[in-house]
Amino acid sequence: MFTKDERRALLYLAVVAAAGGVLRVVRAPADAPGASMVAPDLSSDDLAQQTELVRQAAMLARPLRPGERIDLDRAGALEIERLPRVGPALARRIVEDRDSLGPFGSLEGLGRVPGIGPALLRAFERSVTFSGTPRVVTSPTATPVVIGARTGRAANGCPATGLLALNRATVAELECLPGIGPRLAARIIEDRTLRGPFREVKELERVAGVGPALVQGVSRRLSAP
């Protein structure tokens, strides 16, 4: 299997080779030495597309330099793809989440993006930075919640022991559970308000974004009804 850097290098070479194969550059006989070259078989749009593909391939092929960090509060998807274990889909999700909810502000804030867990956050520690400030919003329970860093908490903080009552929990308390961030906690409260109390913890699966794996991970921390 090829490493990520090897795949990037192969992609770059393939795009350059394709561009070279398409361009048939000729010189008219009457041209004087030094006259400009033309590609009669390609339109200006085709040339622009080939140039852009080569530019993107070159960007993806660039490994991070020693000490280089990518600012995840500003970088585009192509730049983010240079990070270890990040592909196009995850890079797009990071940008879309940032555009929707504002800057991450920290590694903890980045954890709100679906598909990014503790292991990946640890892998990013030495290769990312954050220049933005998380946006503060008000949750449905009027408890201030910081979008981007999971600092919204009940007045007495996260409970160290005991079960959390699912049908009485606030947004801040739900955020104490593994895998649940501000948006998902708010959706749980909204679902509970519109459709009534949960009869058992497994019924959390009726909430958009909650699957069996997440329910299993939080089931030992919750009680219902």
For the stretch 191-216, pLDDT in tens is 999 999 999 999 999 998 898 988 98
- For strands 144-147 and 135-138, give the pairing: antiparallel
What's the rounded Cα separation, in Å, for the pair 154 and 141?
Answer: 11
Mention the CATH class of domain 150-223: mainly alpha
User: CATH number for the 70-129 domain, one of 3.40.630.30, 3.40.1710.10, 3.30.70.640, 1.10.150.320?
Assistant: 1.10.150.320
Q: Which residue has the higher pLDDT, 117 or 201?
A: 201
**Which residues of the chain does CATH 1.10.150.320 include?**
70-129, 150-223
Q: Residue 59: what pLDDT?
A: 56
Do 105 and 130 form a contact (C-beta atoms < 8 A)?
A: yes
Q: Which residue has the higher pLDDT, 175 or 20?
A: 175
d(CA 60, CA 165): 47
Mean pLDDT on 156-169: 72
Crossing angle, helix 44-61 and helix 4-22, to 10 degrees? 160
**Least confidently predicted of 87-96, 175-184, 202-211:** 175-184
Rounded Cα gap, residues 152 and 156, in angstroms: 11
7 vs 70, which has greater pLDDT? 70
At 15, the pLDDT band (50, 70, 90 cuts) reads low
Are the C-beta atoms of residues 164 and 187 closer than 8 Å to each other? no
129 or 38: which leads in pLDDT: 129
CA atoms within 13 Å, Cβ hemisphere of 186: 15
* Higher-confidence position of 105 and 145: 105
Higher pLDDT, 127 or 114: 127
Give me the phi and psi of 129, to 5 degrees please. Answer: -145, 170
